[in-house]
Amino acid sequence: MNSDIPIGSPLRTEAIINRYFIHAKRKLGQNFLVDHDAIMGIVHAANIKPGDQVIEIGPGIGSLTEQLLLAGAKVFAYEVDDSLPEILRNELPSKINGEPLNKRFKLLLKDVLKANFKDDLAGFFDFTRPIKVAANLPYYITTPIIFALNQADLQFANVTLMMQKEVADRLQAKPGNKEYGPLTIAVQIEMNVNLAFTVKNRSFIPRPRVDSSVVVLTPLKNKPDVGDIKHFNWVVKMCFAQRRKTLNNNLKSLLPDKDKREQLITSLNVDPRVRPEELTISQFIQIARAIPSQR
Protein backbone atom coordinates (compact mmCIF):
# COMPACT_ATOMS: atom_id res chain seq x y z
CA MET A 1 0.00 0.00 0.00
CA ASN A 2 1.60 3.24 -1.12
CA SER A 3 1.21 6.12 1.25
CA ASP A 4 2.49 9.64 1.78
CA ILE A 5 3.44 8.73 5.33
CA PRO A 6 7.00 7.35 5.47
CA ILE A 7 7.29 3.62 6.24
CA GLY A 8 9.62 4.49 9.10
CA SER A 9 7.07 6.61 10.96
CA PRO A 10 5.75 4.83 14.08
CA LEU A 11 2.17 5.06 12.77
CA ARG A 12 2.88 3.49 9.38
CA THR A 13 5.20 0.83 10.81
CA GLU A 14 2.51 -0.17 13.36
CA ALA A 15 -0.05 -0.34 10.54
CA ILE A 16 2.24 -2.56 8.43
CA ILE A 17 2.99 -4.81 11.42
CA ASN A 18 -0.74 -5.26 12.04
CA ARG A 19 -1.70 -5.68 8.38
CA TYR A 20 0.81 -8.50 7.77
CA PHE A 21 0.76 -9.99 11.30
CA ILE A 22 4.50 -9.42 11.61
CA HIS A 23 6.22 -10.80 14.70
CA ALA A 24 9.70 -9.34 14.72
CA LYS A 25 12.16 -12.25 14.66
CA ARG A 26 14.75 -11.64 17.35
CA LYS A 27 16.96 -14.41 16.01
CA LEU A 28 17.25 -12.38 12.77
CA GLY A 29 18.03 -9.18 14.65
CA GLN A 30 14.76 -7.59 13.55
CA ASN A 31 14.47 -4.18 15.21
CA PHE A 32 12.60 -1.86 12.90
CA LEU A 33 13.72 1.75 12.91
CA VAL A 34 10.81 4.12 13.60
CA ASP A 35 12.67 7.40 13.87
CA HIS A 36 12.46 9.49 10.72
CA ASP A 37 15.35 11.74 11.82
CA ALA A 38 17.61 8.73 12.34
CA ILE A 39 16.61 7.28 8.95
CA MET A 40 17.31 10.60 7.21
CA GLY A 41 20.49 10.86 9.28
CA ILE A 42 21.75 7.64 7.66
CA VAL A 43 20.82 8.94 4.18
CA HIS A 44 22.72 12.19 4.86
CA ALA A 45 25.70 10.52 6.55
CA ALA A 46 26.08 8.29 3.46
CA ASN A 47 25.79 11.45 1.33
CA ILE A 48 23.28 9.76 -0.98
CA LYS A 49 22.93 11.55 -4.32
CA PRO A 50 20.76 10.76 -7.38
CA GLY A 51 22.27 7.88 -9.32
CA ASP A 52 24.21 6.44 -6.36
CA GLN A 53 24.50 2.65 -6.26
CA VAL A 54 23.71 1.43 -2.76
CA ILE A 55 23.86 -2.00 -1.16
CA GLU A 56 21.44 -2.32 1.75
CA ILE A 57 21.73 -5.22 4.19
CA GLY A 58 18.43 -6.24 5.76
CA PRO A 59 15.78 -3.85 4.38
CA GLY A 60 13.16 -5.22 6.80
CA ILE A 61 9.86 -3.53 5.93
CA GLY A 62 11.66 -0.86 3.90
CA SER A 63 11.93 2.23 6.11
CA LEU A 64 15.52 3.04 5.10
CA THR A 65 15.11 1.56 1.60
CA GLU A 66 12.26 3.96 0.85
CA GLN A 67 14.31 7.04 1.78
CA LEU A 68 17.37 5.80 -0.13
CA LEU A 69 15.17 5.41 -3.22
CA LEU A 70 13.53 8.82 -2.75
CA ALA A 71 17.00 10.39 -2.45
CA GLY A 72 17.66 9.03 -5.95
CA ALA A 73 19.69 5.89 -5.22
CA LYS A 74 19.55 2.56 -6.98
CA VAL A 75 19.31 -0.02 -4.20
CA PHE A 76 20.39 -3.67 -4.11
CA ALA A 77 19.25 -5.34 -0.90
CA TYR A 78 20.11 -8.63 0.84
CA GLU A 79 17.40 -10.05 3.09
CA VAL A 80 16.97 -13.50 4.67
CA ASP A 81 13.39 -13.32 5.89
CA ASP A 82 11.25 -14.76 3.10
CA SER A 83 8.07 -13.10 4.41
CA LEU A 84 9.46 -9.64 3.61
CA PRO A 85 9.74 -9.47 -0.22
CA GLU A 86 5.96 -9.37 -0.64
CA ILE A 87 5.63 -6.66 2.01
CA LEU A 88 8.38 -4.60 0.40
CA ARG A 89 6.75 -4.96 -3.02
CA ASN A 90 3.44 -3.75 -1.61
CA GLU A 91 4.70 -0.97 0.65
CA LEU A 92 7.54 0.67 -1.28
CA PRO A 93 6.41 3.29 -3.81
CA SER A 94 5.55 1.56 -7.11
CA LYS A 95 7.16 4.43 -9.01
CA ILE A 96 10.09 6.62 -8.01
CA ASN A 97 10.55 9.83 -9.97
CA GLY A 98 8.49 8.25 -12.75
CA GLU A 99 10.57 5.04 -12.90
CA PRO A 100 9.07 1.66 -11.99
CA LEU A 101 10.35 0.27 -8.68
CA ASN A 102 12.09 -2.74 -10.29
CA LYS A 103 14.41 -0.45 -12.27
CA ARG A 104 15.64 1.10 -9.04
CA PHE A 105 15.37 -1.70 -6.48
CA LYS A 106 16.50 -5.31 -6.48
CA LEU A 107 16.01 -7.66 -3.56
CA LEU A 108 18.04 -10.83 -3.18
CA LEU A 109 16.73 -13.32 -0.65
CA LYS A 110 20.12 -14.46 0.61
CA ASP A 111 22.22 -14.46 3.75
CA VAL A 112 24.63 -11.55 3.24
CA LEU A 113 27.40 -13.64 4.79
CA LYS A 114 27.07 -15.96 1.78
CA ALA A 115 27.17 -13.07 -0.67
CA ASN A 116 29.40 -13.17 -3.68
CA PHE A 117 29.11 -9.43 -4.25
CA LYS A 118 30.55 -9.29 -7.76
CA ASP A 119 28.26 -12.09 -9.05
CA ASP A 120 25.19 -10.92 -7.15
CA LEU A 121 25.41 -7.28 -8.27
CA ALA A 122 26.43 -7.98 -11.88
CA GLY A 123 23.95 -6.56 -14.37
CA PHE A 124 22.38 -4.21 -11.80
CA PHE A 125 25.39 -2.12 -10.75
CA ASP A 126 28.08 -0.57 -12.88
CA PHE A 127 31.40 -1.67 -11.36
CA THR A 128 33.30 1.20 -12.97
CA ARG A 129 31.52 3.51 -10.50
CA PRO A 130 31.92 3.41 -6.72
CA ILE A 131 29.31 1.71 -4.57
CA LYS A 132 27.92 2.74 -1.19
CA VAL A 133 26.58 0.58 1.60
CA ALA A 134 23.83 1.88 3.87
CA ALA A 135 22.27 -0.37 6.47
CA ASN A 136 20.70 -0.77 9.84
CA LEU A 137 22.51 -4.03 10.51
CA PRO A 138 21.17 -7.19 12.14
CA TYR A 139 23.23 -6.87 15.35
CA TYR A 140 23.82 -10.59 15.93
CA ILE A 141 26.21 -10.65 12.95
CA THR A 142 27.63 -7.10 12.90
CA THR A 143 31.28 -8.14 13.15
CA PRO A 144 31.19 -10.86 10.43
CA ILE A 145 29.34 -8.45 8.11
CA ILE A 146 32.03 -5.79 8.64
CA PHE A 147 34.75 -8.37 7.90
CA ALA A 148 32.85 -9.54 4.78
CA LEU A 149 32.49 -5.96 3.48
CA ASN A 150 36.13 -5.27 4.30
CA GLN A 151 37.15 -8.23 2.16
CA ALA A 152 34.67 -7.62 -0.67
CA ASP A 153 36.40 -6.87 -3.91
CA LEU A 154 34.34 -3.72 -4.50
CA GLN A 155 35.21 -0.06 -4.90
CA PHE A 156 33.35 1.62 -2.03
CA ALA A 157 32.64 5.34 -1.80
CA ASN A 158 31.56 4.82 1.80
CA VAL A 159 30.01 2.20 4.06
CA THR A 160 27.45 3.69 6.44
CA LEU A 161 26.26 1.32 9.12
CA MET A 162 23.99 1.45 12.12
CA MET A 163 25.29 -0.96 14.76
CA GLN A 164 25.28 -1.47 18.51
CA LYS A 165 27.21 1.32 20.22
CA GLU A 166 29.74 -1.11 21.73
CA VAL A 167 30.86 -2.31 18.30
CA ALA A 168 31.10 1.28 17.01
CA ASP A 169 33.34 2.05 20.01
CA ARG A 170 35.60 -0.86 19.03
CA LEU A 171 35.85 0.40 15.44
CA GLN A 172 36.97 3.86 16.55
CA ALA A 173 39.23 2.80 19.42
CA LYS A 174 42.79 4.08 19.78
CA PRO A 175 45.77 2.14 21.17
CA GLY A 176 45.51 2.02 24.95
CA ASN A 177 41.67 1.82 24.97
CA LYS A 178 40.12 -1.36 26.27
CA GLU A 179 37.93 -1.52 23.12
CA TYR A 180 41.03 -1.61 20.87
CA GLY A 181 41.49 -5.07 19.31
CA PRO A 182 41.56 -7.20 16.13
CA LEU A 183 38.33 -5.69 14.74
CA THR A 184 39.64 -2.13 15.26
CA ILE A 185 42.85 -2.94 13.46
CA ALA A 186 41.27 -4.95 10.60
CA VAL A 187 39.02 -1.98 9.83
CA GLN A 188 41.46 0.88 10.45
CA ILE A 189 44.05 -0.53 8.01
CA GLU A 190 41.42 -0.19 5.27
CA MET A 191 39.02 2.56 6.31
CA ASN A 192 38.68 5.90 8.04
CA VAL A 193 36.12 5.53 10.81
CA ASN A 194 33.76 8.40 11.65
CA LEU A 195 30.96 8.35 14.17
CA ALA A 196 27.97 10.15 12.59
CA PHE A 197 25.46 10.02 15.48
CA THR A 198 24.01 7.80 18.17
CA VAL A 199 20.44 6.52 18.41
CA LYS A 200 18.51 5.59 21.56
CA ASN A 201 16.90 2.16 21.76
CA ARG A 202 13.42 3.76 21.89
CA SER A 203 13.81 4.57 18.17
CA PHE A 204 13.14 0.92 17.28
CA ILE A 205 10.22 -1.53 17.34
CA PRO A 206 10.87 -3.75 19.22
CA ARG A 207 13.49 -1.96 21.34
CA PRO A 208 16.92 -3.57 21.32
CA ARG A 209 18.66 -3.89 24.70
CA VAL A 210 21.41 -1.46 23.72
CA ASP A 211 21.77 1.98 22.15
CA SER A 212 23.10 2.26 18.60
CA SER A 213 25.60 4.31 16.62
CA VAL A 214 25.81 5.18 12.96
CA VAL A 215 29.35 4.93 11.66
CA VAL A 216 30.68 6.01 8.28
CA LEU A 217 33.64 4.01 6.95
CA THR A 218 35.56 5.60 4.08
CA PRO A 219 38.36 3.75 2.27
CA LEU A 220 41.81 5.12 3.08
CA LYS A 221 43.57 6.78 0.14
CA ASN A 222 46.94 5.50 1.33
CA LYS A 223 46.53 2.10 2.91
CA PRO A 224 49.44 0.83 5.01
CA ASP A 225 51.32 -2.07 3.43
CA VAL A 226 50.48 -4.97 5.75
CA GLY A 227 51.79 -7.66 3.36
CA ASP A 228 49.54 -10.71 3.15
CA ILE A 229 46.28 -9.52 4.73
CA LYS A 230 45.22 -12.97 5.99
CA HIS A 231 48.60 -13.46 7.66
CA PHE A 232 48.42 -9.96 9.16
CA ASN A 233 44.90 -10.41 10.58
CA TRP A 234 45.87 -13.85 11.96
CA VAL A 235 48.99 -12.48 13.69
CA VAL A 236 46.93 -9.64 15.22
CA LYS A 237 44.32 -12.13 16.42
CA MET A 238 47.00 -14.31 18.00
CA CYS A 239 48.61 -11.27 19.69
CA PHE A 240 45.26 -10.57 21.36
CA ALA A 241 44.53 -14.23 22.20
CA GLN A 242 44.94 -13.41 25.90
CA ARG A 243 44.58 -9.67 26.04
CA ARG A 244 45.34 -9.39 29.76
CA LYS A 245 48.72 -11.05 29.24
CA THR A 246 51.84 -9.37 27.90
CA LEU A 247 52.70 -9.31 24.22
CA ASN A 248 55.67 -11.53 25.03
CA ASN A 249 53.34 -14.18 26.42
CA ASN A 250 50.96 -14.00 23.47
CA LEU A 251 53.85 -14.26 21.02
CA LYS A 252 55.08 -17.58 22.49
CA SER A 253 53.02 -19.73 20.12
CA LEU A 254 53.96 -17.59 17.09
CA LEU A 255 57.64 -17.26 17.90
CA PRO A 256 58.71 -20.04 20.29
CA ASP A 257 62.39 -18.98 20.26
CA LYS A 258 62.87 -16.75 23.35
CA ASP A 259 65.81 -14.78 21.90
CA LYS A 260 63.96 -14.00 18.68
CA ARG A 261 60.94 -12.91 20.66
CA GLU A 262 62.98 -10.58 22.84
CA GLN A 263 64.77 -9.21 19.79
CA LEU A 264 61.43 -8.45 18.13
CA ILE A 265 60.03 -6.72 21.23
CA THR A 266 63.21 -4.64 21.60
CA SER A 267 62.93 -3.58 17.96
CA LEU A 268 59.45 -2.20 18.70
CA ASN A 269 60.90 0.29 21.21
CA VAL A 270 58.36 -0.60 23.88
CA ASP A 271 58.40 -1.71 27.48
CA PRO A 272 59.17 -5.48 27.50
CA ARG A 273 55.97 -6.01 29.50
CA VAL A 274 53.81 -4.20 26.94
CA ARG A 275 50.26 -5.52 26.44
CA PRO A 276 48.85 -6.02 22.92
CA GLU A 277 46.25 -3.24 23.28
CA GLU A 278 49.04 -0.66 23.71
CA LEU A 279 50.60 -1.28 20.28
CA THR A 280 50.02 0.90 17.24
CA ILE A 281 49.04 -0.48 13.84
CA SER A 282 52.59 0.16 12.56
CA GLN A 283 53.95 -1.98 15.38
CA PHE A 284 51.57 -4.82 14.47
CA ILE A 285 52.79 -4.55 10.87
CA GLN A 286 56.36 -4.90 12.15
CA ILE A 287 55.38 -7.97 14.20
CA ALA A 288 53.54 -9.61 11.28
CA ARG A 289 56.63 -9.18 9.10
CA ALA A 290 58.76 -10.97 11.69
CA ILE A 291 56.44 -13.95 12.07
CA PRO A 292 56.83 -16.77 9.53
CA SER A 293 53.75 -17.33 7.41
CA GLN A 294 51.75 -20.48 8.21
CA ARG A 295 50.97 -21.15 4.55
Which CB sits closer to ligand SAM, 26 or 273? Answer: 26
Q: How many residues does the chain have?
A: 295
Class of residue 186 by CB neighbours under 10 A (exposed 0-12, middle 13-18, buried 19+) = buried
- Let me know: does 97 contact 72? Beta carbons within 8 Å: yes
- Least distance (Å) from ligand SAM to the CB of residue 48? 15
Class of residue 40 by CB neighbours under 10 A (exposed 0-12, middle 13-18, buried 19+) = middle
- Least distance (Å) from ligand SAM to the CB of residue 20? 13
- Least distance (Å) from ligand SAM to the CB of residue 269? 43
Tell how far CA 201 is from the center of its chain.
Answer: 19
Ligand-binding site membership of 58 (annotated): yes
Rg of the chain taking only CA atoms, in angstroms:
22
Residues at the contact surface with ligand SAM, assessed by CB under 6 A: 28-33, 57-60, 63-64, 78-81, 111-113, 136, 138, 141
Which CB sits closer to ligand SAM, 112 or 287? Answer: 112
- Let me know: does 50 contact 71? Beta carbons within 8 Å: yes
- Least distance (Å) from ligand SAM to the CB of residue 3? 16
- Least distance (Å) from ligand SAM to the CB of residue 23? 12
Which CB sits closer to ligand SAM, 162 or 255? Answer: 162
Looking at residue 125, the DSSP 8-state letter turns out to be B
Q: Annotate 146-166 with DSSP letters as a single string.
A: HHHHHHS---EEEEEEEEEHH
Choose among 119, 15, 9: nearest CA to 67: 9
Ligand-binding site membership of 98 (annotated): no
Ligand-binding site membership of 41 (annotated): no
Which CB sits closer to ligand SAM, 58 or 276? Answer: 58
Ligand-binding site membership of 79 (annotated): yes
Which CB sits closer to ligand SAM, 58 or 181? Answer: 58
Which CB sits closer to ligand SAM, 103 or 114? Answer: 114
- Least distance (Å) from ligand SAM to the CB of residue 117? 13
User: Is the Cα dihedral 187, 189, 190, 192 positive or negative?
Assistant: positive
Ligand-binding site membership of 111 (annotated): yes
Ligand-binding site membership of 277 (annotated): no
CB-based closest residue to ligand SAM: 58
Q: What residue type is assigned to position 188 of the chain? A: Q
Annotated binding-site ranges for S-adenosyl-L-methionine: 31, 33, 58, 79, 111, 136
**Residues annotated in the binding site, as ranges?**
31, 33, 58, 79, 111, 136
